[in-house]
Amino acid sequence: MTTFDPSAAKLRLENLWKLRAKFGMERKAYYTYLDELVSDRFQLINGLQVLRDELQFATDTELSDLVACGADLSVPTVVTTLAHTNCGDRIHQGEATKAYERVVASRFATISEIGELKLESFAPTGGGTDDGATLAHVTVAHALDKPLKERIYSGNAQSFLMVAIDLKTHVGRMDDRRSGTSYGRTAESPWREPRAACGAIVGALAGYNEGNGVHQRIRGDLGEENFEFLRKNKITAADGADVTAAVASAIVAIQGMLNTAFAFAKELDERGVAHLTASVTVNRPSMDDPVIYLSRATVFQGRVCVQGLGTDARKYTARMVDHEGDRRLLLVYDGRETGGFPVRDMDPPKEAAKHEALDI
């Protein structure tokens, strides 16, 4: 294998962190996916040969003319792979999920020889992730088998692997002329009664069951201080809208992103680059579900960089803002909103404190 030249990867990471990102506001799914996720990842692969089609991995052992599809690995190359998590609740399987596949997965996931998307797709109850270390390991292990890894790493000194992972949760929203706006419940259709969404997160806060493994995981992702705070206190927007469930869903997604990023710091080799995001889909009756972009992170050669909202529930405030003829939720963290968040290096938490709130 050639000695790795990290200059191409480092330059693209530096350029990524110069891109402005807007966090904390309900926006149309297509806007969020295009202007945030896609723009970041195109910056990481800009000017390089991108390998994501199975036909590009064809070798001279093939017994057909498809060997002609094999890529020239002597040029600077990046192999991309993509994974995402999505709560299995059927209310969370609407247009926002379809938009994600069209806009994000279609550009960065592996493609089969017959043109099908081959993205890693996981549906932990409540969203986020069941286990960040497992998610990181599986995604990397599936991206490059040993023979392919040897071919790519021997081809060009600047070639690397880009792993993209999106950690998502969801929260229901109800708008009532008399009682106003609240989060944590929604109706699947205009003629049905509202129900909890996400039921797992709302249920863990409203009626924690020690024997329920999902409740245990959500409590662990929230951390003890957040769990107790959110059980006993409401977080309200300036106009009185109850956004407690939205904050809880945000923390679960961000913590899942952090857990996975810290795992990548150990899982990736020197040629591995990871780009991770956390977001919340807002389930609203009879309309396309908007998305709240929460945080982003990169991992390269053990360095974890993070930007966006954090995981301390006490630092959250909110307000409803008029946007595109609609009233949208804007989450504010520690007095910062939208583009006012610094980029920070993060060290993995100590084992004894792994469930404490991480202020990013």
pLDDT in tens, 153-164: 999 999 999 999
SS3 113: coil
Residue owning tokens 């709130």: 357
Which of 303, 220, 218, 309 lies closest to 262 in space, CA to CA?
303
User: How large is the C-alpha radius of gyration of the chain?
Assistant: 21
Virtual CA dihedral for 31, 312, 345, 338, nearest 10 degrees? 30
Q: Kindly report the number of other CB atoms within 10 A of residue 328's CB atom.
A: 17
pLDDT at 351: 55
pLDDT at 62: 65
Q: Which residues of the chain have pLDDT under 50?
A: 352-358, 360
Cα separation, 82 vs 68, in Å, equals 26
Tell me, what's the pLDDT at 352?
39
Using an 8 Å Cβ cutoff, are 64 and 92 in contact?
Answer: no
- Asked if 9 and 268 touch (Cβ cutoff 8 Å), the reply is no
- For 177, what's the count of Cα atoms within 13 Å in the CB-facing half-sphere? 0
For residue 23, the tally of other CB atoms under 10 A from its CB is: 26
- For the residues of 287-310, what is the DSSP string, one character each? SPPPEEEEEEEEEETTEEEEEE--
pLDDT above 70 covers what percent of the chain?
96
* pLDDT at res. 233: 96
